[in-house]
Chain A
Amino acid sequence: MPKIVFLQPDGDRRELDLQSGDSLMRGALEHDVIGILAECGGAAACATCQVIVAEEWRDRLPEPDISEASMLDEDDGPGRRLSCQVIVTDELDGLTVEVPLSQH
């Protein structure tokens, strides 16, 4: 199972074994990762499941589709993704993401 690393703003670091085919959001919620709210349940409708992808991984993820892109704010800076739209694959073993200080 691919390992995904979740970093918290306070430095807390969790390495989680996630299921290929699940979204990062689904995996995060199953492991009670703090700060992923996912109010819409994974429909790219609420922008409260955001993560900041570590720089070295940004080009290795598929580009956001039209729904995800419409929810991301350019003001937020690069690397922001909706974790409900990033699907775990074996190629993403070791992916590191940071949970933002606030989803609002």
Chain B
Amino acid sequence: MGFELPKIPTPPHVPEDLVRPFPFIFGMATEQNPFTELADSVHRGPAIFYTPHAYPGGTPAWIVRRAEDLRAIYFDTEHFSSKDFSPFPKLIGENWSSLPAETDPPMHRLYRAFVNPLFTPKAMAKLEDQIRTYARGYIDDIKTRGECEFMKDFAFEFPIRVFMDLMGLPHDRMAEFLEWEMGLLHNHDLAGIAAATRKVVDYLDAEIEDRRANPRDDLITYGVEAEVDGRKLTRDELIGFTFNLFIGGLDTVSTHMGLHFWHLATHPEDQARLRADPALISDAIEELMRAYPAVTTFRTCVKQVEVGGVTMMPGDKIAMCTTLAGRDPEEYGDPAVVRFDRKPRTISFGYGPHLCVGMHLARREMRIAMEEFLAAVPSFRIKDGAAIQFHLGMIQPVELPLVWQA
């Protein structure tokens, strides 16, 4: 390894006894169980603490582990801003914000109203058959092999197919898309992330221009033709909108699929229950989303505020770690136990005005993938001798080798 995290002095408003290490360090990988070993250990400490290295690049952040405190922060747009928490535009010298994710009131409300109709439950129900066709395509390819690397053979590509249909992008560029996604979201080298960002933005620029001349029934055209606040969107807003969709809905679905199937592969009795009664799958996915949430976003404090007895000052970053929220023992009894009948209220998709706009689509994709895989592939387990490693940052299995009797 051999890199040293920079030593950051603690600001005066942060009590020294609240400065603690945090086991989730962006860009590292672990063989420990990120949930039962890492997340659950954090819940044995203070409700809110300060850690020097939580934010990508090695900057400090407050860690808030209780679901109740996170809900309050998610809702409080007066004291906490969502502005620009990801590095992408700055890496290529541009200035747009992912939209609506990285915008604040008053424009956030208008941007969100513009995006919402695209992702309502009814709108996503229309995609059911096509999503199932894609899932079957991947599963048909793997079911007779008796083994697969679940991430590479199914989970990474499957959500991209659906996304490409929505955006009106050609499927013959799938491999390129996947490469860009990896470059953006699976890269620790800033120059590499910048290069991937440049490629994606150039591509989106070209597609946006094309839709101006040749409108179609897709999301890019919807953006080009929409009026927000009584006017058309600017180029920066269109890039922000399409880029947000790009990073929002691909890797996140893949990673949760990977985590859910890792659970099923290591819990044969749960796998058998769902195979025997597929009607349980919807509830199972809700509980798996509760138990294995992967995403951490950030907020920036913009106005002094007290949360749980802790003073936060403007400029402070706050890690909104869904991985911790789903395992909060004050919120969920026995959080380490996965119970398909728990029917939890989760904040794995966030909470408040920025709640994941794609959640109905994500749930549909995950449900269909599980329905089809369990129907086509017999009882599967982790390949013998394989130790599953997880990326940290967004919690993702590095590889998930599964085997079964084909």
User: Which residues of A approach B to under 8 Å, CB–CB?
Assistant: 37, 39-41, 43-47, 66-67, 69-73, 75-76, 103-104
B114 in contact with A70 (CB, 8 Å): yes
Contact call A45/B117, Cβ cutoff below 8 A: no
State the CA gap A38–B106 with chains docked (Å): 23
**What's the count of A-B pairs with C-beta under 8 Å?**
59
Contact A70 B345, beta carbon cutoff 8 Å: no
Cβ 8 A contact of A45, one of B112, B122, B123, B363: B112
A45-B112, A66-B109 known; A104+B121 contact, CB < 8 A: yes
Report if B352 contacts A (CB, 8 A): yes
The A interface, classified by DSSP as helix, strand, loop or mixed, is loop
B359 at the interface (CB under 8 A from A): yes
Chain B residues with CB under 8 A of A104: 121, 360, 363
Query: Among residues 161 to 212 in chain B, which have CB atoms less than 8 Å away from a CB atom of chain A?
Result: none
Q: What's the Cα separation between A24 and B371 when bound, in Å?
A: 36
* Beta-carbon contact of B354 and A45 below 8 Å: yes
With a cutoff of 8 Å between Cβ atoms, the chain B residues found around residue A69 in the complex are: 113
Chain B residues whose CB sits within 8 angstroms of the CB of A103 once the complex forms = 121
Would A73 and B122 be within 8 Å (CB), given that A39-B349, A41-B75, A41-B352 are in contact?
Answer: yes
Q: Does B110 contact A (CB under 8 A)?
A: yes
CA distance A66 to B114 in the complex (A): 9
Q: Complex Cα distance A43/B345, Å?
A: 16
Q: Is the CB of B360 within 8 A of A43?
A: no
State whether A73 touches B123 (Cβ < 8 A).
Answer: yes
Question: Which of A46, A66, A73, A75 sits near B355, CB closer than 8 Å?
Answer: A46
Contact B351 A71 (CB under 8 A): no
B95 within 8 A of A: no
Determine the residue in chain A with the shortest Cβ distance to B363. A104
- Give the chain A neighbours of B122 by CB distance below 8 A: 73, 75-76
Give a binary string over B343-363; 1 marks a CB under 8 Å from any A CB, 0 the rest.
001000101111101011001
Query: Top 8 nearest A-B pairs by Cβ distance?
Result: A70-B116, A70-B113, A40-B355, A73-B122, A43-B353, A45-B355, A66-B113, A43-B352
Cβ distance A82 to chain B, nearest Cβ, rounded Å: 11
Interface string of B33-75 (1 = CB under 8 A from A): 0000000000000000000000000000000000000010011
Q: A70-B112, A75-B122, A104-B360 are in contact. Are A43 and B355 (CB under 8 A)?
A: yes
Contact B109 A67 (CB under 8 A): yes
The answer, yes or no, to whether B120 is at the interface (CB within 8 Å) is yes
User: What is the chain A residue whose CB lies nearest that of B228?
Assistant: A66
A34 to chain B, nearest CB (A): 11
A-B contact pairs, 12 of them (CB 8 A): A39-B355, A40-B352, A41-B71, A43-B352, A43-B353, A66-B110, A66-B113, A70-B112, A70-B117, A71-B116, A75-B122, A76-B122
> In the bound complex, what is the Cα–Cα distance between A104 and B128 (angstroms)?
13
Chain A residues whose C-beta falls within 8 Å of the C-beta of B123 in the assembled complex: 73
A67–B111 CA distance with the chains assembled, in angstroms: 10
| Nearest CB on B from A104, distance (A) | 5
Instruction: Please report the C-alpha to C-alpha distance between residue A95 and residue B354 in the assembled complex, in whole angstroms.
Output: 30
B116 and A41 contact, CB distance less than 8 A: no
- Kindly provide the distance from the CB of B322 to the nearest chain A CB, expressed in whole angstroms: 13
Q: How far is the CB of B142 from chain A (nearest CB, A)?
A: 29
Give Cα A67–Cα B109 distance, bound, in whole angstroms: 7
